[in-house]
Amino acid sequence: MRNCRRVTTSEFIAYIGTQPVTEARFGFVVSKSVGSAVVRNRVKRQLRAAAAAKLPKLAPTAIVLRATPAAVTANFSQLSSSLESALAGVLR
């Protein structure tokens, strides 16, 4: 993403857009370096669930989450708390 802020955690890198959008939205990138297709889909589902819980509290912005290989060993609560801290400036 161009014109964005980058926040790095051990599980993912969050690219937070600075251009105005009408509603909050997420995008997910889980590359082959994370693992097999089954592992990538599991990580993507966990990130999607964590993001869905935060969506009502977000100001209108576009956010892309790029998973790192460390996301494979993280449980849902770790992903959720990392997302909360990464989005601290965007939460209402």
pLDDT digits (tens, 9 = 90+) for 15-47: 998 888 899 899 999 999 999 999 999 999 999
Q: Classify 80 as helix, strand or coil.
A: helix
Please check the confidence at residue 1 and state whether its pLDDT lies above 80: no
What CATH number is given for 4-86 in this structure? 3.30.230.10
pLDDT digits (tens, 9 = 90+) for 64-90: 999 999 999 999 999 999 999 888 866
11 phi and psi angles, rounded to 5 deg = -90, -25
pTM: 0.88
Show me where the domains of the chain are located: 4-86
**Residue 25's pLDDT is what?**
92
